[in-house]
């Protein structure tokens, strides 16, 4: 571009962008004819543009609708005094809910791992879910949840899944609802969870209050995860009527039933492997082991727990999955008193331990024979146990097979073995006590005490005339 036309191009561009009327011609003398840029005039134009931009920004701020006046809202002041958030809440939550509802519009197969994680985190804030489902199970179910749209006046029957209202209002047709998971015969009556008692994590909080009275609002729940074939298709027990257009999240009951089946299958496989590795059951057929697995359940014991004492009949058969148990036998020993007398006392003698993949209690339960030893857990122990009532309910063939293969726990130990072990331990203890006493008496001779020198110097540092005798390398 020629130098003579450069000022005019710059000026035209500045005037077009700023929408500022061009200055009088007297302020731009001989602009077309000048070969030099008048930077003073150019700065004036920029100043005018910035001033007008600030005026437009001020007008835009004044045109925004004013925020609601909270000065007379007592709920706002109470929440602020208790350290809570305001009624209108942070923008972050609203964006999270919008993102959450947009994800639920997609089919589960089209969601990314990041989106699955968002759905899982939001479901973790539903008390009705977290109180009755394990976190790992909730994570699996969250990958298959869907969102449904219901128009006003629709009847939503929740006997085929668990429902969470994301948007809109609904009214239940009955006030009696069963537990989310009906694992017991008894049922619990409750009003579905409303947002008044909703508990959120630190990074996801909803400040809005919905669900007044018996009306179900945002985050209210209804339905069940149990597949109940006996429930009538049009039952009112789990149904609600929408009073507005609603967005409702659904967790299908069939998905939870499938999850429970897979969980039971994996647990049974683990129990079969555990029992099959126990010494008494190595040669058992798999079909007979499955008969035992049907009645087994997991149980944990803390360290130092006495499972059974000598002379008692144990109430279950146990298969150790992790940890170990200590075995003690009782014996009558003698204790020396200060008056040079001897007193008979009952002492426990450690005879060994039961490790992982070992079992005990079969003979005691089936034949009602008291234990000849005491079993104490040495650390945290997890066992698969079969209670005595379930063991007696087994078919006669399985019980007879167990009696033929199992043996009494540490039944090979005789009284002579226990006495011999007790004498050896007592001799070692007495010899150690005699040795320690002799060594201490020898060291204490002439005032020598272990751990202390004969001379005591209170020097805080090495004296100057002694430093010359030190050898440095």
Read out DSSP for 244-303? Answer: S-EEEEEEEHHHHHHHHHHHHHHHHHHHHHHHHHSGGGTTS-HHHHHHHHTT-EEEEE-T
User: What pLDDT, on a 0 to 100 scale, did the predictor assign at position 3?
Assistant: 43
Give this prediction's pTM.
Answer: 0.56
**Based on the domain organization, do 351 and 426 belong to the same domain?**
no
**Based on the domain organization, do 168 and 223 belong to the same domain?**
yes
**Residue corresponding to tokens 């005039």:** 41
Rounded to the nearest angstrom, the gap between the alpha carbon of residue 247 and the centroid of all alpha carbons in its chain is 29
pLDDT at 14 over 80: no
Helix (H, G, I), strand (E, B), or coil: what is residue 358? Answer: coil
Does residue 215 lie in a domain region? yes
**Based on the domain organization, do 426 and 343 belong to the same domain?**
no
Distances (CA, A) of 439 to 17, 257, 377, 429, 436: 102, 71, 37, 16, 5
**Based on the domain organization, do 249 and 301 belong to the same domain?**
no
User: What pLDDT, on a 0 to 100 scale, did the predictor assign at position 201?
Assistant: 38
* CA–CA dist 117, 268 (Å, integer): 30
**Based on the domain organization, do 31 and 101 belong to the same domain?**
no
User: What pLDDT, on a 0 to 100 scale, did the predictor assign at position 76?
Assistant: 59
pLDDT at 83 over 70: no
**Based on the domain organization, do 234 and 95 belong to the same domain?**
yes
pLDDT tens for each residue of 237-290 = 678 999 999 999 999 888 888 998 898 899 999 999 999 999 999 999 999 999
Range picked from 189-193, 399-403, 435-439 for highest mean pLDDT: 399-403
Residues in the chain, total: 473
More confident of the two residues 437 and 379 = 379
**Residue corresponding to tokens 């209210």:** 220
Question: Angle formed by the axes of helices 135-142 and 253-277, to 10°?
Answer: 130
**Based on the domain organization, do 52 and 136 belong to the same domain?**
no
**Based on the domain organization, do 307 and 391 belong to the same domain?**
yes
**Based on the domain organization, do 210 and 284 belong to the same domain?**
no
More confident of the two residues 226 and 250 = 250
How many distinct structural domains can be found in the chain? 4
Looking at 63, 81, 102, the residue that finishes a domain is 63
Looking at 48, 63, 78, the residue that finishes a domain is 63
**Based on the domain organization, do 151 and 209 belong to the same domain?**
yes
Does residue 467 lie in a domain region? no
More confident of the two residues 401 and 13 = 401
Looking at 371, 395, 412, the residue that finishes a domain is 412
Element (H, E) at 150: strand 146-150
Cα atoms in the 13 Å half-sphere on the side-chain side of 367: 14
Range of the domain at 401: 278-412
Using alpha carbons, select from 204, 223, 205 the residue that is nearest to residue 129: 223
Does residue 437 lie in a domain region? yes
What is the average pLDDT across 400-412?
Answer: 88
**Based on the domain organization, do 234 and 305 belong to the same domain?**
no
Range picked from 201-205, 258-262, 338-342 for highest mean pLDDT: 258-262
Q: Is 148 left (phi over 0), alpha (psi -120 to 50) or beta?
A: beta
**Based on the domain organization, do 216 and 293 belong to the same domain?**
no
And the tokens for 469?
């005798």
């Amino acid at each position: 571009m020629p130098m003579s036309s450069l000022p005019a191009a710059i000026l035209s561009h500045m005037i077009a962008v700023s929408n500022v009327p061009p200055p009088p011609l007297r302020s731009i003398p001989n602009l077309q004819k000048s070969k030099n840029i008048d930077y003073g005039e150019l700065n004036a134009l920029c100043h005018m543009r910035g001033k007008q931009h600030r005026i437009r920004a001020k007008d835009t701020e004044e045109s925004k609708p004013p925020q609601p006046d909270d000065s007379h809202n007592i709920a706002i002041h109470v929440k602020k005094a208790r350290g809570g958030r305001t009624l209108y809440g942070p923008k972050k939550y609203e964006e999270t809910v919008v993102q959450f509802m947009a994800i639920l519009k997609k089919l589960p197969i089209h969601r990314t791992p990041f989106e699955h994680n968002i759905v899982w985190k939001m479901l973790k804030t539903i008390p009705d879910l977290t109180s009755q489902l394990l976190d790992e199970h909730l994570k699996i179910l969250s990958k298959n949840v869907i969102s449904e749209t219901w128009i006003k006046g629709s009847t939503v029957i929740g006997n085929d899944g668990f429902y969470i209202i994301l948007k809109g209002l609904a009214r239940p047709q009955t006030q009696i609802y069963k537990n989310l998971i009906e694992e017991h015969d008894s049922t619990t009556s409750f009003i579905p969870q409303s947002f008044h008692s909703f508990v959120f994590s630190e990074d996801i909080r909803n400040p809005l209050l919905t669900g007044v009275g018996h009306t179900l609002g945002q985050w209210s729940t209804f339905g069940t995860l149990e597949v109940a074939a006996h429930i009538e298709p049009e039952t009112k027990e789990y149904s609600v009527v929408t009073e507005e257009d609603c967005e409702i999240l659904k967790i299908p009951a069939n998905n939870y039933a499938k999850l429970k089946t897979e969980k039971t299958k994996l647990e049974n496989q683990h129990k079969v492997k555990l029992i099959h590795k126990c010494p008494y059951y190595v040669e058992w057929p798999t079909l007979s082991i499955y008969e035992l697995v049907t009645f087994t359940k997991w149980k944990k014991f803390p360290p130092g727990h006495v499972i059974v004492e000598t002379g008692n009949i144990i109430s279950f058969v146990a298969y150790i999955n992790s940890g170990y148990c200590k075995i003690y036998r009782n014996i009558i020993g003698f204790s020396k008193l200060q008056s040079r007398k001897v007193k008979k006392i009952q002492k426990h003698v450690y005879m060994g331990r039961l490790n992982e993949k070992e079992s005990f209690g079969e003979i005691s339960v089936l034949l009602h024979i008291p234990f000849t030893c005491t079993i104490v857990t040495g650390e945290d122990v997890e066992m698969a146990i079969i209670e005595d009532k379930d063991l007696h309910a087994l078919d006669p063939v399985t019980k007879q097979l167990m009696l033929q293969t199992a043996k009494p726990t540490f039944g090979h130990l005789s009284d002579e073995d226990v006495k011999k072990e007790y004498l050896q331990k007592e001799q070692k203890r007495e010899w150690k006590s005699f040795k320690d006493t002799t060594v201490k008496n020898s060291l204490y001779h002439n005032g020598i005490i272990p751990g202390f020198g004969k001379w005591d110097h209170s020097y805080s540092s090495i004296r100057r005339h002694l430093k010359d005798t030190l050898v440095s390398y």
